[in-house]
Every structure is written in C-alpha cells, then in structure tokens.
Amino acid sequence: MMQEESSIECPFCGEEITILVDVSVRRQNYIEDCSVCCRPIQLEVFFVKTTLWFR
C-alpha cells in the first residue's frame, strides 16, 4: 500500500492537519477525525495525476 502525506484545512476549526492518503485508490470517501478539534471531516479524495482534491 502506498501512502502519501497531505495537509488539509479543517472546515470546523480552520487548523491545518496532516493526513495519510492511500494513493493506490483513485477515488475514495472516508471520514477523518481532526487532530485538533476531534470533529469528523468528510473527505472525498480524487487523484488527477498527483493532485489531491477535497470537498
């Protein structure tokens, strides 16, 4: 399994958190708990070449 570190901004507290994404899966949906405020962030991750997209 290949994993890559990426940072996102938490929509709840605005802090930047680092997440690990499995880059072998092209499209994924999962929930990551914010390491700062502990609230669940719904992540939809797409890979377009090496670009990560979140929403």
> Residue 55: in which H helix or E strand, if any?
none
Residues 15/34, Cβ–Cβ less than 8 Å: yes
45's torsion region: left (phi>0), alpha (psi -120 to 50) or beta? Answer: beta
At its nearest, how many Å lie between Zn ion and the CB of residue 50? 25
Of these, 12, 20, 44, 53, which contacts Zn ion (CB under 5 A)? 12
For residue 53, state whether it binds Zn ion (rule: CB under 5 A): no
| Residue whose CB is less far from Zn ion, 12 or 53 | 12
- Residues of this chain that interact with Zn ion (CB under 5 A) are 10, 12-13, 34, 36-37
